[in-house]
Structure 1
Amino acid sequence: MSTQPVTTPPGTSSGDPGMTPTGDGLQAGLKNRHLSMIAIGGVIGAGLFVGSGAGIAKAGPAILISYALVGVMVVFVMRMLGEMAAAHPTSGSFSAYADRALGRWAGFSIGWLYWFFWVVVLAVEATAGAEILEKWMPGVPQWGWALIVMVVLTATNLASVASYGEFEFWFAGIKVVAIGAFVVVGGLAVFGLLPGSDNEGAGFAHLTDTGGFLPHGAGAILTGVLMVVFSFMGSEIVTLAAGESADPQRAVTKATNSVIWRIAVFYLGSIFVVLTLLPWNSEEIVEDGSYVAALNSIGIPHAGNVMDVIVLTAVLSCLNSGLYTASRMAFSLGQRGDAPKAFARTTSRGVPQTAILCSVVFGFVAVFFNYKWPDTVFQFLLNSSGAVALFVWLVICLTQLRMRGIILREAPEKLVVRMWLFPYLTWATIAMIVFVLGYMFTDDANRDQVSMSVLVAVVVVGIALLRERLGKGGAKPVGKDTAAPR
């Protein structure tokens, strides 16, 4: 890789003969298998393994309804995003579409908020991974492991987009195989069909035998929604990555069409297995984690260590994708004049080096804050970025309302993916997201998070509007990353 950032002119070949230029300086280095696994693994975050136990404790078996409600919302959002991304694949994804459909202020605001969200996630996941590694090898301090993990994955992303894709292919593959095996093995144990299982195989009895299906009342379903909604963040990554593949339209269409079964199997399927193997109020679910408790109930030896390996893989996957996503969003903002021009420069291998380094530097700073001031500065970063997922989904919905008409008017043949029952389901999804945001204000555990996130969003939108008023919106290049020429 060239050490000096240079802009690769659109339409020229890169220094790597195995890659094809995308026309904006990036390279089409992601293969179909990379995109397929990124799409499948994108919905499986570390939060599913780590945080599901708390949701079960709060809502009981009714947490299944919580996951189903959020899952339906994500399916609708992904369908809308898929409609736009299949028509105009771009590394800026929903930020570029919002720029076109809602105005420069919208693209600027949601782009920077999304970048901020992922660089904070870098710190969270680096710390989580470091905790597991320190437990295995205590000779290296936790901050040392966090540094090592960040450096290795930064080097991976700097090498080429193909390196990112290869790492993510294997990380996501391990997650997918692990969840798939858990659902199959656990499902057999539920009905007493697993040889040598220590579980009594109670069938569906545990869903109702301890206080009923709604032990804490129907209101607990909404509490569960707030606890699980953020574990779905990451589904949209494939639409950013598709811009660096040889056949982005096919990749986006395939990912959009498969999102239903992915959520059904990985989220609903695995949580269903946990709830049918153990009573929802089992102390082991909270103490050991839902998946470890389920594996222990079957008699799987060293279940805790097995899950540590899987969680570490999920953490590394999230780190890898988080750095990739943050850098590509920064690259797109740079192309549109909403970030320093250096962010839009690529190396001879089609890597936005400056965008990657600036993103990871903020991640390193956030890791430092996590160790130095975990309850003040870092808690502020967490709270102020916590509701960004819902903001992103809301902007996707509002953008699609406008982009449908633009696509039909300018290039109707590109409308290969369509949102169902447009515009009624789009408006229904908007109402669902607004309701969840409103309900967060009434919930003691989430009020600070949504309040700080709204405050930061207002500041960013204010900066965007001020830039427009002062005429500093920057030049909007005509090309792939603009969603469509004005």
Structure 2
Amino acid sequence: MVDQNKATADENGGAGELRRNLHNRHIQLMAIGGAIGTGLFMGSGKTISMAGPSIIFVYMIIGFMLFFVMRAMGELLLSNLEYKSFSDFAADLLGPWAGYFTGWTYWFCWVVTGIADIVAISSYFQLWFPGFSVWMSALLCIVVFLTLNIVTVKLFGEMEFWFAIIKIVAIVALIVTGIVLVFMHYPSPGGAHAALSNIWDRGGWFPKGISGFFAGFQIAVFAFVGIELVGTAAAETRDPRKVLPRAINAIPLRVIMFYVCALIVIMAVTPWDQVVADRSPFVEMFVLIGLPAAASIVNFVVLTSAASSANSGIFSTSRMLYGLAQQDVAHPLFGKLSPRAVPTNGLFFSCLCLLGGVALIYLIPNVMTVFTLVTTVSAILFMFVWTIILCSYLVYRKRRPEQHAASVYKMPLGKIMCWVVMAFFVFILVLLTLQQDTRQALMVTPLWFVILAFGWMMRRRRHG
């Protein structure tokens, strides 16, 4: 069996390059794992308390917009199988600067997201070990993820496969449990009973007004980061022409199933105005109805969800550093692979940067404050990457009409939707100025682009 795997790996990539060792099931589940992030499990409590039932529409709108980003990325990746990730087509279509800015920003996106996930994991740990140091649990997480990723990409694929299955089973179980509780009219401690009418009876669909509805977008956007992970994994996918379209096309169904249904069930069982903002409503739902054992199980699930997201992030950052080294915009050390075709130098560097999360938890003890700050920075950076994907698509349509005409996976309403989605991202940036905690993150984020611009100028000077 091992020899067979080795032969297949050698067919799909030599010793000096990434291997196409991920199968259809890995990519499908990775796409689902990417669509069910920590933002749903950890952040939905805050978004429900800010927006009330209107948060359902927030998730649907964001999911709708990001589907078109994914379709644009899918068409571009399949137009040239030499593209290993979106930093490759950005460099090819927009110029080397775009590859540099996209690659490094995406790397930083996942470092920041990894920090948010580790903050979330440390918070979940407190349910079982309230006396255990939060920053120590964060440090332990980083060591475990580094060990898992160093072995092989096949192991990473298997880990993500099982992590995603745990998430799916948990959300389906939560939805089924919620439906049963609604039919039973199960009482909750606040004097209410589980009923669908709990969603609209307490102030209607927009109880916090339009400002509350708008406030829900920040953490809701973060819930979707990682949705583009299938693009990063394309370099290590077998039969991408068949696998990628299948994974992308299922996104709308996943958004409705996992986000909308889960939120409806949570607000039907626990009226939205009783949802605790700084805790996971998934765990709290079972605590409220007096099932602490079930709460522990759900806590394990949300912990594995955050672990899955952090694991994906570490995978992505190491592969992005490898790609940047191949483009000669990162140190050649990051372009070296281990005998198992794993970019270990990139892994070590990314994990070293994740230690910043441990420092943040140590300096700011309030987990939700750190989580909001970090997730806002992450959401802004991801919107930059998604915008670069859309700009690359517009240039591709202008310069290579023959490739678009020959494409078997065309983006619907191509050019129009690119502009609509980019306008939507500008709208979200404006919304981030309305809250003090998100405004602070918005003011800090441009520093990253100043650092990148300085690095680009230094590189231009060095290379003449």
Q: TM-score, normalised by structure 1?
A: 0.85
Say if 1:98 and 1:107, in contact at 8 Å, map to a contact too.
yes
Q: 1:366 to 1:145 in 2, by over 3 A?
A: closer
Identity %: 33
Matched, 1:136 2:128: yes
Quote how far apart the aligned CAs of 1:367 are.
Answer: 2.2
SS in 2 for 1:338: coil
Per the alignment, do residues 30 and 126 of structure 1 end up closer, same or farther by CA in structure 2, a change over 3 Å counting? Answer: same
CA contact (8 A) 2:30 2:230 kept: yes
1:398 and 2:388 aligned: no
- Return the structure number with greater helix share: 2
**Alignment match, 2:7:** 17
Q: Does 1:219 align with 2:201?
A: no
For 1:212 and 1:411, the matched residues in 2 are separated by: 46
CA distance in 2, matches of 1:127, 1:449: 17
* Alignment map for 1:87-106 (pairs within 5 Å): 87-89=79-81, 92-106=84-98
1:256 aligns to what?
A: 248
How far apart in 2 are the matches of 1:205 and 1:15? Answer: 54
Select the residue among 316, 319, 323 that pairs with 1:332: 323
Amino acid at match of 2:303: L
Cα 1:14–1:99 shift into 2, 3 Å: farther
Q: CA deviation at 1:108?
A: 0.5
Pair 31,223 (structure 1): closer, same or farther in 2 beyond 3 Å: same
Task: Quote the Cα distance in structure 1 between the aligned partners of 2:59 and 2:299.
Answer: 23
1:154-174 deviations in Å (ceiling 9; x for gaps): 122111100111111111110
Distance change >3 Å, CA 366–CA 210, structure 1 → 2? closer
Residue 21 of structure 1 deviates from its aligned partner by 3.0
Q: Does 1:187 align with 2:206?
A: no
Alignment-derived partner of residue 296 in structure 2: 305
For 2:270 and 2:115, locate their aligned partners in 1 and report how far apart those are by CA, in whole Å.
34
Distance across 2 between alignment mates of 1:461 and 1:14: 47
Question: Deviations for 1:416-436, whole angstroms, at most 9, x for unmatched residues?
Answer: 222111211111111111111
In 2, Cα distance between equivalents of 1:40 and 1:383: 22
Distance 2:5 2:284 in 1: 51
Aligned to 1:388: 381
Matches within 5 A, 1:17-416: 17-19=7-9, 20-22=11-13, 25-89=17-81, 92-133=84-125, 135-137=127-129, 141-190=133-182, 192=183, 197-198=186-187, 203-282=195-274, 284-286=275-277, 289-296=280-287, 300-372=291-363, 385-410=378-403, 413=406, 415-416=407-408
Task: For residue 99 of structure 1, report the CA deviation from its aligned partner.
Answer: 0.9
How far 1:76 sits from its partner (Å)?
Answer: 1.6
Per the alignment, in what secondary structure is the counterpart of residue 464 of structure 1? helix
Deviations 1:397-456 (A, max 9, x none): 11111123455435854x222211121111111111111112323433321211211232
Asked if the contact 1:105/1:465 (under 8 Å) is kept, the reply is: no
Q: Distance in 1 between matches of 2:431 and 2:234?
A: 34
Quote the residue 1:4 is aligned against: none
TM-score under structure 2 length normalisation: 0.88
Structure 1 residue 101, shift from structure 2 partner: 1.4
**For residues 382 and 57 of structure 1, what CA distance do their matches in structure 2 show?**
17
Summarize deviations over 1:190-236 as a string: whole Å, max 9, x none.
Answer: 3x1x6x95578765312221112211212322111123111110101
The two structures, once aligned, show a CA RMSD in angstroms of: 2.9
| Paired residues of 2:38 and 2:305 also in contact (CA < 8 A) | yes
* Inter-CA distance 76–201: structure 2 relative to 1 (3 Å threshold): farther
Structure 2 CA distance for aligned equivalents of residues 197 and 279 of structure 1: 12
Range 42-51 or range 119-128, more displaced: 119-128
C-alpha contact (below 8 Å) 1:91/1:328 kept by paired residues? no
Indicate if the aligned counterparts of 2:134 and 2:361 stay in contact, CA closer than 8 A. no
Contact 1:87 1:416 in 2 (8 A): no
Q: Check the 8 A contact 2:222/2:376 in 1, yes or no.
A: no
Residues paired across the two proteins, number = 453
Distance across 2 between alignment mates of 1:385 and 1:69: 19
Q: Distance in 1 between matches of 2:303 and 2:340?
A: 29
Ranges of 4+ aligned residues in structure 1 off by more than 6 Å: 378-383
Tell me the amino acid that sits aligned with residue 341 of structure 1.
P
Distance (Å, rounded) in 1 between the aligned partners of 2:332 and 2:4: 20
Whether the 8 Å CA contact 1:326–1:359 is kept in 2: the answer is yes
For residue 309 of structure 1, report the CA deviation from its aligned partner.
Answer: 0.5
Q: Distance in 1 between matches of 2:129 and 2:285?
A: 26
- In the alignment, the residues of structure 1 paired with residue 445 and residue 455 of structure 2 have an alpha-carbon distance, to the nearest angstrom, of 15
CA contact (8 A) 2:26 2:158 kept: yes
Aligned counterparts of 1:214 and 1:91: Cα–Cα separation in 2: 44
Given that residues 196 and 268 in structure 2 are in contact (C-alpha distance below 8 angstroms), is that contact kept between their aligned partners in structure 1?
Answer: yes
Of stretches 396-405 and 305-314 in structure 1, the one that deviates more from structure 2 is: 396-405
Structure 1 pair 70/167, CA: closer, same or farther in 2 (3 Å)? Answer: same
Tell whether the 8 Å contact from 1:71 to 1:263 is kept in structure 2 after alignment.
yes
Aligned partners of 2:74, 2:251: CA distance in 1, in Å? 10
Measured in 2, the distance between the counterparts of 1:301 and 1:39 equals 31
Residue 383 of structure 1 and its aligned partner are, at CA, apart by 6.4
Distance in 1 separating the partners of 2:262 and 2:78: 30
Change over 3 Å in CA distance of 1:76–1:187 after alignment to 2: farther
Which segment is superposed worse, 314-323 or 203-212? 203-212
Q: Residue 403 of structure 1 aligns to which amino acid in structure 2? A: Y
Distance 1:381 1:198 in 2: 37
Q: Give the aligned residue type for 2:202.
A: T
